[in-house]
Each structure stands twice: as structure tokens, then as C-alpha cells.
Structure 1
Amino acid sequence: MQVQVNETTLTGKQKRFLRAMGSTLDPVVQIGKSGVIDTVTESAEQALAAREIIKVRVLQNSPEEPKAAIAALAKATGAELVQVIGRNGLLYKKNEEKSKIELP
């Protein structure tokens, strides 16, 4: 598994914009009792490629703390960690070929 380093960091304004978008989303990736494993990373990468912004849920039976698990997933996918609230996190990764989200 290769890890990409993200050279862009989001501004406060961009994060606010993405948080507003993310508030209506349902979690599409769940981190369970196995933690952040390859299959979770792959499904997150596919969802990010299709949507650019995804909500991640850390289940009660996960061995890791929600913040740590979501941060690990963001690092593994090369995505930006927008926010973590409770057991939910928001990840953003710009699709270079066909970008859907226009950041302010």
C-alpha cells in the first residue's frame, strides 16, 4: 500500500464550505473491529474518486479511537481530514481528472 503526501492544505473557508456539504451526507465507509485495513482503505479510495467528499463512521467495536482511525484512513488514502465529530469524520480528496466540487 502506497501513501501519497498531500501538498495542498485546506483554508478555514474551504473547510467551512466542505463541512456544510458534509452535514447532509450519510457515512459511506465504516471502520469496524479490524480497524483501518486494506479493504477499508480501498473502499474509501473508490468512494473519494467518485464523490471527492465522504463521511466515515467508526463503529463501537473498533479497537482505535475515532480521531486516530479517521486520521489513519485520511493518511492512507492521501485525503484531507476536514473534521471529526464523535464517531464520524469527513474526508476530502480532489479528483484531478474530473473535479465535481469547486472550492471557494
Structure 2
Amino acid sequence: MYDFPLTGAQRKKLRGIGQTLEPVLKLGKSGITREFLLELQRALNAHELIKVRLLEKDRDVRAELCEQIADEGRCVCVGAVGGTALFFRRQEAKAKQRVEI
């Protein structure tokens, strides 16, 4: 599991930045596949903060999917509203860090 604790203020700032983002990935009926996780890694390496569209209708299932994506993708779920979730993973190298929190 990715352990990067965020304060409430940091989450709030990331959600504010995330409002202007378009979804980078869509999670459809096939669920979390190896290909989805590879694309998730590429997107997080490139952007640090990404938006994912979840096509699941059930609220409880979406919450479980967010938790599973965060665990398997080694990232933090910053927030989820409706069918859209925001994920963050800090870059190790300071030079590659794009999001200021």
C-alpha cells in the first residue's frame, strides 16, 4: 500500500486543482485489469494528479473500486464525487513534481 498521508488542507487544494482536469482513464465493465493498472501508472508518472471516470452505477461498488485502485495503483484517492474519482501520487524526484501542495 502507498503510504503518503495528506492533511485535510492538502486534500482540499488537490480537489480544487482537480476540478479543472478532464478524466484521463475510464474504468468500464471489465473492471480493474492489468492494462488499466499499466495506464494508471503511466498517467500518475506523467501528471501526479489524475481524474478517473468510473462507469459503475452503485455507490458502494464505486467506493470499493476507489480503494482497490488506490491499493493496487500505489496512490491516494483524494476524493470521489459521483462517477469521478481523483487520485494522487507524489513523484520521488523534486524536479519531476508538478503539483504544489
**TM-score with structure 1 length normalisation?**
0.87
- The equivalent residue for 2:50 is 54
Offset, 1:67: 1.5
- Does the CA contact (< 8 Å) of 1:82 and 1:92 recur in 2? yes
**Other structure's SS at 1:66 match:** helix
Query: Could you give the per-residue CA deviations for residues 24-51 of structure 1, whole angstroms, max 9, x where no partner exists?
Result: 1111111111111111111011000000
Unaligned runs of 5+ in 1: none
- The equivalent residue for 2:35 is 39
Offset, 1:101: 1.2
| Alignment root-mean-square deviation, CA | 1.7
1:23 to 10, 19, 24: 19
Letter of the 2:100 partner, please give it: E
**Other structure's SS at 1:65 match:** helix
Alignment CA distance shift 1:81-1:60 (3 Å):
closer
Structure 2 Cα separation of the partners of residues 61 and 82 of structure 1: 20
